[in-house]
Amino acid sequence: MKKIPMLIDGEWVGGDSDEWLPVYNPSNGEMIAEIVNATDNQVEEAVAAARRAFESAEWRAFKPYERGQLLYEMAAFIRANKERLSRLETEDVGKPLFQAESDVEAAARYFEFYAGAADKSFGDSIPIEDGLLDVTVLEPMGVTLHIVPWNYPLQIISRSVAAALATGNAVIVKSAEDTPMTAHALTEWFKESKLPKGIFQHITGVGSEAGAKLASHPGINQITFTGSVKTGSSIMQAAAKNIVPVTLELGGKSPNIVYADANLEKAANGVLNSIIQNAGQTCSAGSRLLVEAQIKDKFVTMLKERFQTLKIGAGIENPDMGPILNKRQYEQILKKLEQAKKEGQIVVGGNAITVAGYEGGFYIEPTIIDGLNHESTIAQEEIFGPVLSVFTFHNPEEAIRLANSTNYGLVTGIWTANIDVAHYTASRVESGQVFINSYGAAGGIQMPFGGYKKSGIGREKSHLALMNYQQIKNIAIKYEI
Ligand code: NAD
């Protein structure tokens, strides 16, 4: 059994005296590895090592362009290991291989994007008065903590770690207990890289133990977290005690709004992909369909036909859709489907399935539910499975009202041929990202990503994310002769 150690202060940590936790392959339920459940002492050591590394002369001497070079090298490593990394991600998360391959490409792109930014992030000079030169300098936050979820581990580690290293921080990654494999592969590379020891560290373990200990540690200067609202809220409370900024990306209940004049073929494909990607276990999943009343039956039929032809199977077999992450998530989704059967009508799907040869895996049919009350918990709460709820509207105002009536506001898809309607709707929806006639266009490394309302605080991706990891120092210089 593969034993995955942690990286603390440049050394592998994990031995007989540690508690080891199992990691399973969601496609067949088999154990594939073990991780260390970090102790309080190990967390203390990691935070202390990060502080020493951050303050070291060696790290101060590391020039911004050298940080950039190192991140470019990481991107090259990711590309050169595309096959191995995608297989690891598929084995660990369950997603189809083609989706893992696109995650690997996105990870490489994050490192390249922020590599380029490493020596191009700078302050301003501010005109105040004669004899006074006022400048702002951007400085790293210090020790940044990256708490990563299980649904896109490779991408989510890459997007925040690349930005934090580009701007000169010492980073600690806490990977999700279910999916440590690609985090470990990146860690192996960092260990052998030119980075001073302690600048990149990887901690594993139970979220409510090691994760909570890290999040509340006074030695942490900034926290980036992706995951549930509940955990996000507790991390924010921990950060509040230390007056530490947080970047939170907390999921959504994102709508696709389909107007009657839309290209329905393209809209149906977009809606389908937005909910089956990673079996619906995606923060930006398009889990609500808001469709204009006069095309509802036709459009739902188009979707139903597409849902029925989807191939579901083990990630490694490259199906259209893979399994659910683990038994806990699987049972939660099935429970919600039972509730949906009572409160609405199942158009297609609605059940667990068994995949021949992979009987231990956690498979659920892609599902469309109609007839729910929009106030119901199923319509309002993140299901984190391949479950789409359908609602109708009669005019743009009603579409906008429905789109905005959840606690979330991460992504909105708008499908229409009418440019006025498209812009009007985009201007009124409470959503951090809006896609018109697409959903998740072009991957979006350069596009700011984050949520309105309970979908989170702050933005990741894009050059704006660099400010998550920097603080502004104003220096005023008085001169006279
Ligand atoms: P979670 O939010 O509890 O866990 C995410 C990460 O936070 C993991 O690394 C975990 O180890 C860590 N963590 C957990 N408790 C912590 C704590 N108290 N302090 C610090 N770190 C902690 O998510 P989950 O339990 O794995 O999944 C539950 C639900 O969360 C899912 O059903 C889904 O709705 C949502 N979720 C959303 C996303 C997203 O991309 N927005 C990702 C994963 C899960």
The CATH classification number of 2-250+458-475 equals: 3.40.605.10
> Best substitution site from 47, 146, 231, 233 to test ligand 1's pocket, by max atoms within 8 Å of Cβ?
231
- Catalytic residue, chosen from 91, 112, 249, 292, is 249
When pLDDT is averaged across residues 181-198 and rounded to a whole number, the result is 98
Residue 441: predicted pLDDT: 67
CA 43 to chain CA mean position, Å: 24
pTM for the predicted model, two decimal places: 0.97
Atom of ligand 1 nearest to the CA of 177: 11
| Ligand 1 centroid distance, CA of 227 (Å) | 4
Distance CA 138, CA 141 (A): 9
- Determine whether the shortest distance from the Cβ of 237 to ligand 1 is under 6 A: no
Residue 430: predicted pLDDT: 98
- For 87, the token pair is 């297989």
When pLDDT is averaged across residues 434-441 and rounded to a whole number, the result is 91
Which residue spans of the chain are classified as CATH 3.40.309.10? 255-444
- Determine whether the shortest distance from the Cβ of 212 to ligand 1 is under 6 A: yes
| Ligand 1 centroid distance, CA of 95 (Å) | 18
Q: What residues have CB less than 8 Å from 308, skipping those under 6 apart?
A: 348
Q: What type of residue sits at position 434?
A: V
- Determine whether the shortest distance from the Cβ of 177 to ligand 1 is under 6 A: yes
Distance CA 87, CA 26 (A): 13
| Residue with CA at minimum distance from ligand 1 atom 7 | 207
| Tens of pLDDT, residues 70-125 | 999 999 999 999 999 999 999 999 999 999 999 999 999 999 999 999 999 999 99
Catalytic residue status for 283: yes
Q: Which architecture, in CATH terms, is 255-444? A: 3-Layer(aba) Sandwich (3.40)
When pLDDT is averaged across residues 432-441 and rounded to a whole number, the result is 92
How many percent of the chain have pLDDT more than 70? 99
How many percent of the chain have pLDDT more than 90? 99
Which residue spans of the chain are classified as CATH 3.40.605.10? 2-250+458-475
Q: What type of residue sits at position 348?
A: V
| Tens of pLDDT, residues 214-236 | 999 999 999 999 999 999 999 99
- Determine whether the shortest distance from the Cβ of 211 to ligand 1 is under 6 A: yes
Residue 1: predicted pLDDT: 81
- Catalytic residue, chosen from 91, 283, 365, 460, is 283
Catalytic residue status for 249: yes
| Tens of pLDDT, residues 262-312 | 999 999 999 999 999 999 999 999 999 999 999 999 999 999 999 999 999
Name the average pLDDT for the chain.
97
When pLDDT is averaged across residues 391-418 and rounded to a whole number, the result is 98
Strand order in the sheet with 456-457: 11-13, 6-8, 200-203, 170-174, 143-147, 222-226, 246-249, 456-457
> Best substitution site from 223, 228, 324 to test ligand 1's pocket, by max atoms within 8 Å of Cβ?
228
Residue 59's alpha-carbon distances to 62, 137, 139, in angstroms, are: 5, 18, 13
